[in-house]
Chain A
Amino acid sequence: AQRVTQPEKLLSVFKGAPVELKCNYSYSGSPELFWYVQYSRQRLQLLLRHISRESIKGFTADLNKGETSFHLKKPFAQEEDSAMYYCALLYNFNKFYFGSGTKLNVKP
């Protein structure tokens, strides 16, 4: 059963527009959710985690347990935000389920 769902494979927005990358999860325990990002020709790296409630590079994500969602948002997209974004659910102490990823393309 799929634990993490990212419904959009590709999201294209213009520079300066708001962006929201969707993530829904299915998990019976208390979820810990993360967003990882992969810029072109670079390795996957952590963007943010819900427990820290921080904003990284202008991105925020709020865990909504009622809707089982952890959408990633940014009010004004920049071209350098273009990348692959993966939502990830931590389970069993140290293992992750990853979503299928959303490619964000920010057009000039």
Chain B
Amino acid sequence: GAVVSQHPSRVICKSGTSVKIECRSLDFQATTMFWYRQFPKQSLMLMATSNEGSKATYEQGVEKDKFLINHASLTLSTLTVTSAHPEDSSFYICSVGRENTGELFFGEGSRLTVL
């Protein structure tokens, strides 16, 4: 069964609105979750590391005020795209890493379309 569940799988919103994407770790508690972004025909780019009970760590070039991350429990991390613009349209994927193995388990991804 799935280790990581992501919701919603698709969302369409108007420019200027905010969108929240949830990522749940189903099989084990995750102090750390990862948010990736994937543009069409391009690689996955790490956006940020979500840390349970503390602030997320953002990669260089990622606006933390634009992409709000909350990791309130050991099984749930949320990514909120604030004041979305068409250029934010992308495929967002969360993942959970199993400690000591380096293996990542991925959510099914969320396709955001901003009109």
In the complex, the answer to whether A96 meets B106 with C-beta atoms within 8 Å is: no
Residues of B within 8 A of A100 (CB): 41-43
Are A95 and B49 also in contact (CB < 8 A) when A43-B109, A101-B43 are? yes
Q: Given the complex of chains A and B, what is the CA–CA distance between A96 and B35 in angstroms?
A: 11
How far in angstroms is the closest Cβ of chain B from A53? Answer: 14
How far in angstroms is the closest Cβ of chain A from B98? Answer: 10
Q: Give the tally of cross-chain contacts (CB within 8 A).
A: 49
Q: Given the complex of chains A and B, what is the CA–CA distance between A86 and B41 in angstroms?
A: 12
Residues of B within 8 A of A4 (CB): 43
Residues of B within 8 A of A96 (CB): 34, 44, 46, 104
Q: Given the complex of chains A and B, what is the CA–CA distance between A100 and B42 in angstroms?
A: 5
Q: Mark B37-80, 1 if CB is under 8 A from A, else 0.
A: 00001111110010000000000000000000000000000000
Are A94 and B32 also in contact (CB < 8 A) when A9-B41, A86-B43, A101-B43 are? yes
* Size of interface on A: residues with Cβ below 8 Å to B: 21
In the complex, the answer to whether A98 meets B97 with C-beta atoms within 8 Å is: no
Residues of A within 8 A of B88 (CB): none
In the complex, the chain A residue whose C-beta lies closest to that of B95 is: A44
Q: Mark A79-104, 1 if CB is under 8 A from B, else 0.
A: 00000001000100011111111000
Is A25 at the interface (CB under 8 A from chain B)?
no
Residues of A within 8 A of B97 (CB): 94
In the complex, the answer to whether A90 meets B102 with C-beta atoms within 8 Å is: yes
In the complex, the answer to whether B44 meets A43 with C-beta atoms within 8 Å is: no
Q: Given the complex of chains A and B, what is the CA–CA distance between A86 and B42 in angstroms?
A: 11
In the complex, the answer to whether A32 meets B102 with C-beta atoms within 8 Å is: yes
Q: Which of B90-109 contact A (CB under 8 A)?
A: 93, 95, 97, 102-109
In the complex, the answer to whether A34 meets B102 with C-beta atoms within 8 Å is: yes
Is A49 at the interface (CB under 8 A from chain B)?
yes
Residues of A within 8 A of B108 (CB): 43
In the complex, the chain B residue whose C-beta lies closest to that of A51 is: B102
In the complex, the answer to whether B109 meets A46 with C-beta atoms within 8 Å is: no
Is A55 at the interface (CB under 8 A from chain B)?
no
